[in-house]
Amino acid sequence: MVAMSNPLQSTAGEPVPGDAVDDALQQVEHQLSLLWRRARSISHQLSRQVHPDMEPAAYGLLTVIRREGPIRLTDLATCIGVGKPSVSRQIAFLESVGLVYKEADPQDGRAQSIRLTEKGEEKMHQVQDARRQVFRERLGEWPLEDVQTLADYMGRLNAIYGDGVLNVKEPELDVQDKPAAV
């Protein structure tokens, strides 16, 4: 593992041995990987509840549009960290099935804002209610304080990764790893 510039500390403020840090980070990585796989599966299921032909990526766009309100395509692409062509394709699908519509942007008449249709709002409300019910069933046995603590920790983790950039140094290639000149 890569040496850390900010070693983790115990709750008492003492530095923790490197092996313990590596073990803890390996567990975090494993649990996050498991959570992401399950979240993708759930997102796939939720998207199908909105429309049988909907891709999970389109469902993610609907959640952002619902949360942010009218939003320009460029801002939507930036918000979720993907290219405009991908977002444009998904928005075209969502528009074709009557879940979103475009309107003139009030701040820039040349641009368009995307918003949910009444049907899109209803579908998202239904899916959100179903998702919340699943959370109630899965976390219903947890003490409220644990659920709040989980939300706080997830918020802290999301804040760290807020920009979606890893900042990982590219490995240096040996001469034998470099492609041959053509």
Per-residue pLDDT of 119-167, as tens digits, reads: 999 999 999 898 898 889 999 999 999 999 999 999 999 888 876 565 6
pTM: 0.68
Give the residue-averaged pLDDT of 10-28: 78
Parse the chain into domains and list their residue ranges. 24-142
CATH code of 24-142, in short, is 1.10.10.10
The tokens for 76 are 């939507």
Residue with tokens 């109630």: 136
Q: First and final CA of the chain: distance in angstroms? A: 36
Give residue-wise pLDDT tens across range 79-135: 888 899 999 999 999 999 999 999 988 887 788 899 999 999 999 999 989 889 888
Give the residue-averaged pLDDT of 28-35: 93
Examine the pLDDT at 38 and tell me if it is beyond 80.
yes
Distance separating alpha carbons of residues 33 and 51, to the nearest angstrom? 27
The share of the chain scoring above pLDDT 90, in percent, equals 45
Angle of CA points 50, 53, 58, to nearest 5°: 65
Are residues 45 and 59 in contact, defined by beta-carbon separation less than 8 angstroms? no
Least confident interval from 7-11, 45-49, 55-59, 157-161 = 7-11
